[in-house]
């Protein structure tokens, strides 16, 4: 009985099939676990270790290096306010202060109702649209304190604030843990075939046999 539920288990198997070595799937599977649970539980790490031929300690060792993985429960909405220089110049720090004071938590903290976690983050690649923040990695560009308040009010009221964003996303903001809502899916008859490197003995079919001699 897998820790993953049936639909996530199916995705996990697809992910594993895309890598020549199973350990490469550790980070994608950690994302998948976080999508299912909202954070990375010890049981999830044990399951991922079993699926990838590693140990739970190795999974934690890898996962804890990366900021997006949470090893404790966080809010349903993780709000990342950028304060790096491009945003700092145009009010990023003031925006963070506003977020902290209106939600009543310091950066890294979660509101008592479990709705919001606020983070003070590094550059999120929206520098021309400073200052900016993201909610579960959906962007809100050229944001001021009013933008922030409106987005929070929307989320509290169960409305999607994405229309206020400038990111090209439609629909609702998914709960924390869900990144891309479209997943790669390779039909069996289109797959080139993923093989472990040790099973490959020569050049691929399209390379001329004499390539080795011709190259210089």
Rounded least distance, CB 112 to another protein, Å: 26
- Per DSSP, the residues of the chain read --SS-HHHHHHHHHHHHT-SSGGGGHHHHHHHHHHHHSS--HHHHHHHHHHHT--HHHHHHHHTTSTT--SS---SEEEEEE-SHHHHTTTHHHHHHHHHHHHT--TT-B-TTS-EEEEEE---S-GGG-S-EEETTEEE-S--HHHHHHHHHHHHTT---GGG--SS--SPPPPTT---SS-----GGG------GGG--S--TTS-TTHHHH--
49 binds another protein (CB under 8 A): no
Nearest residue (CB) to another protein, 90 versus 115: 90
172 binds another protein (CB under 8 A): no
Nearest residue (CB) to another protein, 1 versus 205: 205
Instruction: Select from 8, 9, 16, 19 the one that contacts another protein (CB under 8 A).
Output: 19
Q: Can you tell me the distance from the alpha carbon of 33 to that of 53, in angstroms, rounded to the nearest whole number? A: 17
Rounded least distance, CB 26 to another protein, Å: 4
9 binds another protein (CB under 8 A): no
Instruction: Select from 4, 12, 51, 62 the one that contacts another protein (CB under 8 A).
Output: 62
163 binds another protein (CB under 8 A): yes
Q: Kindly state the number of chain residues that form the binding site for another protein, as judged by CB under 8 A.
A: 86
Q: Which residues contact 98 (CB under 8 A, 6 or more apart)?
A: 145, 148
101-120 residues near another protein, rule: CB under 8 A: none
Tell me the window of 4-12, 100-108, 109-117, 158-166 that interacts with another protein (CB under 8 A).
158-166
Q: Compute the CA torsion angle 184, 187, 191, 196 (nearest 10 deg).
A: 60
13 binds another protein (CB under 8 A): no
Instruction: Select from 129, 133, 152, 155 the one that contacts another protein (CB under 8 A).
Output: 129
Tell me the window of 1-9, 95-103, 108-116, 125-133 that interacts with another protein (CB under 8 A).
125-133
Per-residue x/- track, 64-103, another protein (CB under 8 A): -xxxxx----------x--xxxx-xxx-------------
């Amino acid at each position: 009985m897998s820790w993953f539920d049936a639909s996530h288990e199916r995705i996990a198997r697809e992910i594993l099939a895309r890598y020549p070595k199973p350990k490469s799937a550790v980070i994608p599977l950690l994302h998948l676990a976080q999508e299912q649970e909202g954070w990375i539980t010890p049981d999830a790490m044990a399951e991922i270790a079993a699926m990838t031929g590693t140990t739970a300690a190795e999974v934690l060792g890898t996962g804890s290096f990366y900021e997006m993985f949470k090893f404790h429960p966080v809010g349903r909405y993780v709000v990342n306010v950028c304060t790096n220089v491009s945003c700092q110049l145009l009010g990023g720090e003031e925006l963070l202060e506003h977020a902290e004071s209106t939600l009543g938590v310091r950066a890294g903290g979660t509101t008592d109702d479990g709705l919001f976690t606020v983070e003070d983050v590094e550059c999120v690649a929206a520098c021309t649209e400073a200052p900016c923040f993201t909610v579960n990695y959906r962007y809100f560009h050229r944001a001021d304190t009013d933008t922030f308040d409106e987005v929070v009010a929307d989320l509290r009221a169960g409305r999607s604030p994405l229309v206020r964003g400038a990111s090209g996303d439609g629909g609702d903001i998914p709960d924390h843990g869900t990144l891309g809502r479209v997943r790669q899916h390779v039909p069996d008859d289109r797959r080139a075939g993923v093989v472990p490197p040790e099973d490959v003995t020569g050049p691929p079919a399209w390379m001329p046999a004499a390539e080795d001699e011709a190259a210089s």
